[in-house]
Chain A
Amino acid sequence: MKRSSLLFAALCLTAVAISAPTARAAGTVKIGVLMPLTGNAAAAGQAAKAAIEVATDIVNNAHPELGNLPLAATAGLPNLGGAKIDVVFVDHQGNPSTAQQLATQLITQDKVNALLGAYQSSCTFTATPVAERYGIPFMVGDSAALNITTRGFKYVFRATPIATDYARTYMRFFADMKKQGKKIDSIAIVNENTDYGTSVGDAIEAEAKKDNMPVAIRIPYSASSTDVSAQVLQLKEKNPDVVIFISYTADSILYMKTMKSLDYKPQMILGDDSGFSDPSFIPAINDIAQGVMNRSAWAIGKPGSTTDEINQMYKAKTGRDLDDTSARNMQAFFALADAINRAGSTDPEKIRTALAATDLKPDQLMMGYQGIKYDSTGQNILAATYLIQLQGKQYQLVWPETAATAALQWPMRGAAQ
């Protein structure tokens, strides 16, 4: 076995993807995008890729129907003589060391002008220092871990809300529910154990402590688990009123199914995006987990609205509605393209300066943020999110009430009748 495991290790090393360097075409702006296009999170990565392709089409071609969305009405980047954006996608397979390696390759071989990525926080965490070292702007698409922007980096920007924003939203929601007479005596936090789950879990635990909300149990686990019965039994024993899941796709589906088969249903399940927003989540669980909640800064909106038009384009390409994760990547892409246009140059330093000066208003965005404006760490200080609930075969916006399109059902129903 010893010899063969050494060989196996050697094989794994040789299996690392090598992509050929390509020459840079004149008059184009090159953006490297890192996503998990294969591996456990491939579905989410592929969905984000499709969303970024739609965004590229919107920037590169004239789409006057899209209202105030920057760069939509014109073809290409007007301040760069109508230059088109050329996107290079690479697949890090959800592996942080591969992500790091590919970031280097995109910068040194593909000569990209900026980077965007990389879904898993753990991968973004390792890819961003590479961009910082080479002085190439890195736009974080959707990774929520706090520590990505707390390292004093100058070239890393993030339009998406982060762990603490979400944690605060959840606590505000619980306070609101309690005010309405719902019983929430304790919560449980179930998180996958890489950067994403750990940092969001930590943030929620910290905010819960501040709010004097007892955390009955915290369960970190590995997202590649083939069985979660033990974790569900732990939950059943502690019996919290709300269970918050910070999970990827397979594991979130597995939890819903296992909870059903072990006959456990808390008053409410709150998913922290990711797995709960994966296109395969709803079809897999919609008959057993009615009423689960999720967060989303994305809402399709009224027919004919800019968001509805974008959704139509995405649907024509993929056959399904745009999800929050992919939409946040798309928004990040627009924010990056807008900065490059304002920089009027492909010079990384000028792009960085333009990014730092970003001040987008809500009507220029496709997401429910209050705007995009970065603090000195590169984090958007105007990011926000809605809460949504699975009712029937889709999520409805249920909180805050001022923006809600459907009434919240509490407690969750579970099995569809």
Chain B
Amino acid sequence: MVGVQVIVGGLLLGAIYALFSSGLTLIWGMMNFINFAHGEFVMLGMYVALLVVTWLGGGPAVFAVAAAAALFALGVGLYSSLIRHVIRGPLLAQILSTFGLALLLRYTAFLVFSANFVSLPPTALAGTIKVAGIFLPVAQLVAGAAALILTIALHILLTRTTVGSKLLAVAEDRAAAMLMGIRPDHMQALAWGLSAGAAGIAGALMATAYPWSPSVGETFSLIAFVVVALGGFGSVLGSLYAGLIVGLIQAVSAFWLGAIYKDIVVYGLFVVLLWLRPQGLMGRT
């Protein structure tokens, strides 16, 4: 029974990993652009949730949507003010710009929110349900389910809708897309909005279960990069599988081998997989 508990916990965690990684992979797939500030978007999502709960009250539906909206706006704003310009520059300029952005966001958060760890006050999501001897923390259950649904929705948006086709068209061939009457800047701004929005909502959902401080973004960035590389750069569905796999492997190896070995197992398997399949699980060759 403990085994089932471990596996369920790992999958719930993995679903969240998938949600915040999907935004990173979206930007990569759309623009061949690595966003080092992605973990900071997650962190900002957490603080937006906190501000909304403290000032306005309201349940998880309210603060998760607020975080998604705020981060969507931030993503679009950043694209129009910063990314649009640096993307024409050399690779180093692109990387430096988002790395600098990450530091700027992190230390602004230190200034505004201080270095203290904070947690969301107990919400409607506090508590645990027990199903067939398995404890399901409500917060993680809701977060995991929402993450799963949103990641799949993002995948459907990209592969089954006109907007998705336009987004992919711009990624495929910018000039040809412009000839078809698609405005690449609009599409890419939308991609940044969706990417940051997904990170924001993931942050808000995670804030229900984890204490955090402004430096939490570092931890999430690393996980996001691993998930994205494992799933295949640019594949939302790939990051979903990879997120679930990473969460599961971490939980299983932490329980049966010990907590200090979980990262060795994850990164060991990661290296083996990249050796066998460098493009990742679902990446295009």
Question: A219-255 CB contact bits vs B (8 Å, 1 = yes)?
Answer: 1111011111111011011000000000001100110
Q: Is the CB of B103 within 8 A of A4?
A: no
Q: Is A401 an interface residue (CB 8 A)?
A: no
Question: A23-51 CB contact bits vs B (8 Å, 1 = yes)?
Answer: 00000000000000111101101100000
Question: A1-24 CB contact bits vs B (8 Å, 1 = yes)?
Answer: 101100110010001000000000
CA distance A36 to B213 in the complex (A): 14
Contacting residues, chain A, for B219 (C-beta < 8 A): 224, 226
Sorting the interface of chain B by its residue count into under 10, 10 to 19, 20 to 34 or 35 or more gives 35 or more
Q: Is the CB of B215 within 8 A of A237?
A: no
Q: Is B255 an interface residue (CB 8 A)?
A: yes
Given the interface contacts A233-B5, A261-B137, A280-B211, does A227 sit within 8 Å of B260 by beta carbon?
no
CA distance A287 to B247 in the complex (A): 29
Given the interface contacts A227-B250, A233-B6, A284-B211, does A253 sit within 8 Å of B263 by beta carbon?
no
Do most interface residues of chain A lie in helix, strand or loop, or is the interface mixed? helix
Across the interface, A227 reaches (CB within 8 A) one of B110, B114, B215, B251, namely: B251
Contacting residues, chain A, for B103 (C-beta < 8 A): 15
CA distance A219 to B135 in the complex (A): 22
**Which of B53-61, B92-100, B165-173, B184-192 faces chain A?**
B92-100
Contacting residues, chain B, for A234 (C-beta < 8 A): 255
Q: Is the CB of A38 within 8 A of B215?
A: yes
**Which of B44-52, B117-125, B146-154 faces chain A?**
B117-125
Q: Is the CB of A222 within 8 A of B263?
A: yes
Sorting the interface of chain A by its residue count into under 10, 10 to 19, 20 to 34 or 35 or more gives 35 or more
Q: Is the CB of B9 within 8 A of A43?
A: no
Q: Is B267 an interface residue (CB 8 A)?
A: no
Q: Is the CB of B213 within 8 A of A231?
A: no
Contacting residues, chain B, for A3 (C-beta < 8 A): 91
Q: Is the CB of B211 within 8 A of A228?
A: no
CB distance from A136 to the nearest CB of B (A): 28
Q: Is A406 an interface residue (CB 8 A)?
A: no
Contacting residues, chain A, for B260 (C-beta < 8 A): 193, 220-222
CA distance A253 to B209 in the complex (A): 10
Contacting residues, chain A, for B36 (C-beta < 8 A): 8
Most chain B beta-carbon contacts within 10 A, residue among A1, A228, A249, A261: A261
Contacting residues, chain A, for B116 (C-beta < 8 A): 43, 279-280
CA distance A344 to B252 in the complex (A): 61
CB distance from B129 to the nearest CB of A (A): 10
CB distance from A287 to the nearest CB of B (A): 7
Given the interface contacts A11-B99, A280-B117, does A231 sit within 8 Å of B6 by beta carbon?
no
Q: Is the CB of A1 within 8 A of B229?
A: yes
Q: Is B107 an interface residue (CB 8 A)?
A: yes
Q: Which of B65-105 contact A (CB under 8 A)?
A: 91-92, 95-96, 99, 103
CB distance from B28 to the nearest CB of A (A): 10
Q: Which of B249-273 contact A (CB under 8 A)?
A: 250-252, 254-255, 258-260, 262-263
Q: Is the CB of B254 within 8 A of A230?
A: yes
Q: Is A413 an interface residue (CB 8 A)?
A: no
Q: Is B128 an interface residue (CB 8 A)?
A: yes
Contacting residues, chain B, for A40 (C-beta < 8 A): 213, 215
Most chain A beta-carbon contacts within 10 A, residue among B122, B211, B214, B255: B211
Q: Is the CB of A38 within 8 A of B115?
A: yes
Q: How many A-B residue pairs have CB under 8 A?
A: 133
Given the interface contacts A249-B117, A262-B128, A287-B122, does A222 sit within 8 Å of B95 by beta carbon?
no
Q: Is the CB of A38 within 8 A of B107?
A: yes
Across the interface, A231 reaches (CB within 8 A) one of B114, B210, B254, namely: B254
Across the interface, B128 reaches (CB within 8 A) one of A37, A42, A222, A263, namely: A263
Contacting residues, chain A, for B9 (C-beta < 8 A): 227, 229-230, 233
Contacting residues, chain B, for A261 (C-beta < 8 A): 127-128, 135, 137, 139-140, 209
Q: Which of B7-52 contact A (CB under 8 A)?
A: 9, 13, 34, 36
Contacting residues, chain A, for B135 (C-beta < 8 A): 261-263
CB distance from B90 to the nearest CB of A (A): 11
Q: Is B182 an interface residue (CB 8 A)?
A: no
Contacting residues, chain A, for B262 (C-beta < 8 A): 230
Q: Is the CB of A4 within 8 A of B215?
A: no
Least CB separation from B36: chain A residue: A8
CA distance A221 to B36 in the complex (A): 26
CA distance A229 to B114 in the complex (A): 28
Given the interface contacts A226-B219, A229-B9, A250-B211, does A7 sit within 8 Å of B250 by beta carbon?
no
Most chain B beta-carbon contacts within 10 A, residue among A226, A234, A237, A249: A226
Q: Is B223 an interface residue (CB 8 A)?
A: yes
Contacting residues, chain A, for B132 (C-beta < 8 A): none
Contacting residues, chain B, for A262 (C-beta < 8 A): 5, 128, 135, 137
CB distance from B187 to the nearest CB of A (A): 24
Across the interface, B259 reaches (CB within 8 A) one of A39, A221, A287, namely: A221
Q: Is A168 an interface residue (CB 8 A)?
A: no
CA distance A281 to B117 in the complex (A): 8
Q: Is A63 an interface residue (CB 8 A)?
A: no
CB distance from B267 to the nearest CB of A (A): 13
CA distance A234 to B2 in the complex (A): 9
Q: Is B212 an interface residue (CB 8 A)?
A: yes
Q: Is A350 an interface residue (CB 8 A)?
A: no
Given the interface contacts A253-B119, A261-B137, does A233 sit within 8 Å of B259 by beta carbon?
no
Across the interface, A42 reaches (CB within 8 A) one of B34, B110, B119, namely: B110
CA distance A119 to B27 in the complex (A): 39
Q: Is the CB of A42 within 8 A of B215?
A: yes
CA distance A285 to B258 in the complex (A): 26
Q: Is the CB of B258 within 8 A of A253?
A: no
Q: Is the CB of A284 within 8 A of B95?
A: no
Least CB separation from B130: chain A residue: A263
Q: Is the CB of A250 within 8 A of B117?
A: yes
Q: Is the CB of B117 within 8 A of A278?
A: yes
Cβ contacts A to B, 10 pairs, < 8 Å: A8-B95, A227-B247, A227-B250, A228-B259, A230-B9, A233-B2, A233-B9, A249-B213, A254-B211, A280-B117
Q: Which residues of B contact A (CB under 8 A)?
A: 2, 5-6, 9, 13, 34, 36, 91-92, 95-96, 99, 103, 107, 110, 114-119, 122, 127-128, 130, 135, 137, 139-140, 209-216, 219-220, 223, 229, 233, 247, 250-252, 254-255, 258-260, 262-263
